[in-house]
Amino acid sequence: MPHQYHKDPEAVAGLSPAQYRVTQESATEPAFRNEFWDKKEPGLYVDVVSGEPLFASVDKYDSGSGWPSFTVPVERGNVVENTDASHGMVRTEVRSKHGDSHLGHVFDDGPAAAGGLRYCINSAALRFVPLDDLEREGYGEFRKLFDDADEGVRR
């Protein structure tokens, strides 16, 4: 039976002030001064509020922006896109579907060979699950992404 992800009030209550501002108030954390912008270890990034799987390290790249950048969500259905007309510009905001957390924005300046998208995500919206902990934390089904990446196979 698939896991049922949802916005967990206890998780929201336990957020740090920075996590709360980002996920619940759609703030942006500082570039180059966030937890995952330069993280290279293999693993899965999940919503800090709901636990829903969002991005995998195999799809992460250094965009030079100072925020974690990914070419594609690990489960497209877990990422919702909305028009964001704040700050005098029109951008595409990305939110988690089940946790309704503000994650960041998606831009069309990503690597062309990987589809051309750059999901620019706030570290404060994410929890990192190391590859060796996937099974223990209930994300074992995503292990295949890393095995396929080792073989040069893309999903």
- Supply the residues annotated as catalytic: 120
What would the DSSP string read from start to end of 12-37? HHT--HHHHHHHHH---PPTT-STTT
First-to-last C-alpha distance (Å) of the chain: 22
3-state secondary structure of 8: coil
Evaluate whether 124 touches 23 at the Cβ level (below 8 Å): yes
Q: Which amino acid is at 149?
A: A
Q: What is the 3-state secondary structure (H, E, C) of 96-140?
A: ECCCCCEEEEEECCCCHHHCCCEEEECHHHEEEEEHHHCCCCCCH
